[in-house]
């Protein structure tokens, strides 16, 4: 029998504990660099790089999403793919850190030292929902002769999973479930007892999960299942077949065997028999 709902079930929406979208990942990278490197400015790449000016006396590192590659389909029923994202850190420094005849790091951190610091800070760093970050490439971009700024780019990648958006299924809420023991391990045999068919030509036995039902009529004749009666084995209901040997109000002798039944309802379990 179907379950009648007060209102359509809207389903359930799965929300991961941590978002793994581009903005969240980039923000995590920026925060990781800020926690490890304090000698330069760490920021997201500006929306208008043409008008942006480096004001920090030492340098800056700007983080930007470069793109993603998608792997082969991992499932036949839903779109599930590996998603490899790349992020570039533009390192802009006023000094290479390699003064002629002096300390390689110079009086203040140089580009080489900051590049190594970024590599150390991000290699192996893991964002929830993603695999660990790893370096892909480093390269020289340019030197601004007017401003005296050296620019390098360090690229890092990580992998996560891309899954298609799904629509919630309109399944009914679980209300009741019945499990019947079918292996004969808990069977109990009951001898013949008198039962009377009601006006609906039915007898409700006190047990469910019944089998081996035998009925003897008033005259002592054995009745035949399928000709004289039918049995709802799960619910323990015996129904007389119209035109058979049983009439409403007639008393018969019924013997049967039953096994355990377990009923589970929402929020509770109810073992029976």
13, two tokens: 């929406």
Helix residue ranges per DSSP H, 10-129: 22-36, 111-122
Parse the chain into domains and list their residue ranges.
22-163, 176-272
Q: Provide the pLDDT confidence category of residue 13 given band limits of 50, 70 and 90.
A: low
Round to whole Å and give the CA distance between 210 and 223. 17
Give the homologous superfamily in CATH for domain 22-163. Phage tail protein-like (3.30.2000.10)
Model confidence, pTM:
0.56
Model pLDDT, residue 242: 92
Let me know how long the chain is.
273
When pLDDT is averaged across residues 93-106 and rounded to a whole number, the result is 64
Q: What is the mean pLDDT of the chain?
A: 86
**Angle, helices 111-122/22-36, rounded to nearest 10 degrees:** 120
Residues 38-58 pLDDT 10s: 999 999 999 888 888 888 888
Comparing 28-32, 98-102, 234-238, 248-252, the range with the smallest average pLDDT is 98-102
More confident residue, 120 or 110: 120
**3-state class of 86 per DSSP?**
strand
Round to whole Å and give the CA distance between 210 and 205. 9
Q: Provide the pLDDT confidence category of residue 101 given band limits of 50, 70 and 90.
A: very low
Model pLDDT, residue 1: 41
More confident residue, 269 or 141: 141
Nearest one of 249, 258, 164 to 210, comparing CA atoms: 258
Is the pLDDT assigned to residue 236 strictly greater than 80? yes
Maximum Cα–Cα distance across the chain: 122
Model pLDDT, residue 11: 58
Quick one: three-class SS letters along 110-152? CHHHHHHHHHHHHCCCCCCCCCCCEEEEEEEEEEECCCCEEEE
Q: Provide the pLDDT confidence category of residue 272 given band limits of 50, 70 and 90.
A: low
Model pLDDT, residue 12: 57
Match domain 176-272 to its CATH number in 3.30.1240, 1.20.950, 2.60.120, 2.60.40. Answer: 2.60.40
When pLDDT is averaged across residues 60-68 and rounded to a whole number, the result is 96
């Amino acid at each position: 029998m179907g379950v009648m709902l007060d209102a359509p079930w809207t389903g359930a929406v799965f929300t991961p504990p941590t978002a793994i979208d581009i903005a969240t990942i980039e923000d995590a990278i920026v925060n990781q660099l800020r926690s490890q490197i304090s000698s330069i400015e760490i920021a997201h790449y500006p929306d208008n790089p043409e008008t942006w000016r480096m004001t920090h006396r030492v340098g800056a590192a700007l983080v930007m999403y470069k793109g993603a590659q998608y792997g082969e389909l991992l499932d036949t029923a839903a779109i599930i793919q590996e998603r490899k994202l790349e992020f570039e850190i533009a390192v802009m420094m006023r000094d290479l850190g390699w003064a002629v005849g002096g300390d390689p790091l110079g009086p203040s951190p140089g580009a080489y030292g900051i590049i190594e610091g970024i590599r150390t800070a991000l290699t192996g760093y893991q964002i929830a929902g993603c695999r660990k970050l790893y370096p892909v490439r480093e390269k020289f971009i340019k030197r601004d002769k007017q401003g005296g700024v050296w620019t390098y780019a360090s690229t890092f990648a990580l992998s996560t999973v891309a899954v298609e958006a799904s629509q919630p299924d309109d399944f009914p809420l679980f209300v009741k479930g019945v499990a019947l023991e079918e292996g004969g391990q808990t069977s109990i045999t009951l001898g013949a007892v008198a039962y009377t068919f009601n006006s609906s030509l039915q007898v409700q036995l006190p047990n469910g999960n019944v089998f081996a039902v035998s009925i003897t009529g008033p005259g002592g004749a054995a009745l035949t299942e399928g000709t004289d009666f039918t049995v709802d084995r799960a619910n323990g209901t015996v129904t007389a077949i119209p035109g058979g040997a049983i009439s409403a109000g007639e008393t018969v002798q019924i013997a049967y065997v039953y096994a355990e039944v377990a009923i589970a309802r929402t929020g509770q379990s109810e073992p029976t028999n």
